[in-house]
A and B are shown apart, each in its own frame.
Chain A
Amino acid sequence: DADVTQTPRNRITKTGKRIMLECSQTKGHDRMYWYRQDPGLGLRLIYYSFDVKDINKGEISDGYSVSRQAQAKFSLSLESAIPNQTALYFCATSDARQGTGNTIYFGEGSWLTVV
């Protein structure tokens, strides 16, 4: 089983619909992230969370919300999807403890198309 699991892997949705992308991890990491990737652009941070009670906006949080339901779960919601939110979305985790190297682990990605 993958260390970081994203669902769904692919989704086509209509403009105005609410959609949730879910992420779960088995690494036991405290830090979780949501990124989006667009062609020709680097990965951009949407939201991040350092523990269950900590939620922080990234550089492109407008139009998105998140929920950290448990240490292992971090979901991303598009309340009213629009076509320019069509992208590949990645969940990631890292471990802030000393000596872990702070390696980042990515999920397989979720392709979202808004029509």
Chain B
Amino acid sequence: KNEVEQSPQNLTAQEGEFITINCSYSVGISALHWLQQHPGGGIVSLFMLSSGKKKHGRLIATINIQEKHSSLHITASHPRDSAVYICAVRSMSGSQGNLIFGKGTKLSVKP
């Protein structure tokens, strides 16, 4: 079983829809990252969370440490939001160097 599971794997939405991507993890963590990977391949960090909620523009990330679960929400989705969204956790045990990555959620927003 993967230590970081994302759902759904693929998501197609119509422009303007509210989108939720989920991330569950099975290890104790010190932080959780949400990353965005565009079709060209480059990866950008969207959020780093250790508790609560963060908002940046139309993106909102929440984390529930007790339930080991995080969600990334996109309000008023737009075709330019089409990308792969990756959840990654920094484990409290094991190598300090390692982030554990989910396999990503591929989002396609249709006009």
Partner-B contacts on A (CB < 8 A): 31, 33, 40-45, 48, 50, 56, 58-59, 88, 90, 101-109, 111
User: Is B45 at the interface (CB under 8 A from chain A)?
Assistant: yes
User: Is B60 at the interface (CB under 8 A from chain A)?
Assistant: no
Of B61-69, B71-79, B96-104, the one contacting chain A is B96-104
Contacts of A107 in B (CB 8 A): 42
Taking CB atoms and an 8 Å cut-off, the chain B residues in 1-47 that contact chain A are: 2, 4, 31, 33, 35, 40-45
Contacts of A41 in B (CB 8 A): 103
- Across the interface, name the chain B residue whose C-beta is closest to A39: B103
Take A58-B97, A58-B98, A104-B33 as given contacts and tell me if A88 and B41 are in contact as well, using a CB distance cutoff of 8 Å.
yes
Contact A103 B48 (CB under 8 A): yes
Contact B97 A33 (CB under 8 A): yes
Contacts of B100 in A (CB 8 A): 42
Contacts of B88 in A (CB 8 A): 42-43, 104
Contact B101 A56 (CB under 8 A): no
Interface residue from A48, A108, A109 paired with B98 (Cβ < 8 Å): A48
Take A42-B4, A101-B48, A103-B48 as given contacts and tell me if A109 and B43 are in contact as well, using a CB distance cutoff of 8 Å.
yes
Contact B98 A45 (CB under 8 A): yes
User: Is B93 at the interface (CB under 8 A from chain A)?
Assistant: no
Shortest CB distance A14–B (Å): 23
Take A41-B103, A42-B4, A42-B103 as given contacts and tell me if A103 and B98 are in contact as well, using a CB distance cutoff of 8 Å.
no
Shortest CB distance A69–B (Å): 19
Take A42-B103, A102-B31, A104-B33 as given contacts and tell me if A48 and B45 are in contact as well, using a CB distance cutoff of 8 Å.
no
Shortest CB distance A87–B (Å): 11
User: Is B86 at the interface (CB under 8 A from chain A)?
Assistant: yes
Shortest CB distance A8–B (Å): 13
In the assembled complex, the Cα of A45 lies from the Cα of B98 at a distance in Å of 7
In the assembled complex, the Cα of A59 lies from the Cα of B102 at a distance in Å of 15
10 nearest A-B pairs in the assembled complex, by CB-CB distance: A42-B101, A48-B97, A106-B43, A109-B41, A43-B101, A108-B42, A42-B103, A45-B98, A103-B45, A101-B48
Besides the known contacts A40-B103, A103-B45, 20 further A-B residue pairs in the complex with CB atoms under 8 A apart: A31-B97, A41-B103, A42-B100, A42-B101, A43-B86, A43-B88, A45-B97, A45-B98, A56-B97, A58-B97, A88-B41, A102-B48, A103-B33, A104-B35, A104-B45, A104-B48, A106-B35, A107-B42, A108-B40, A108-B41
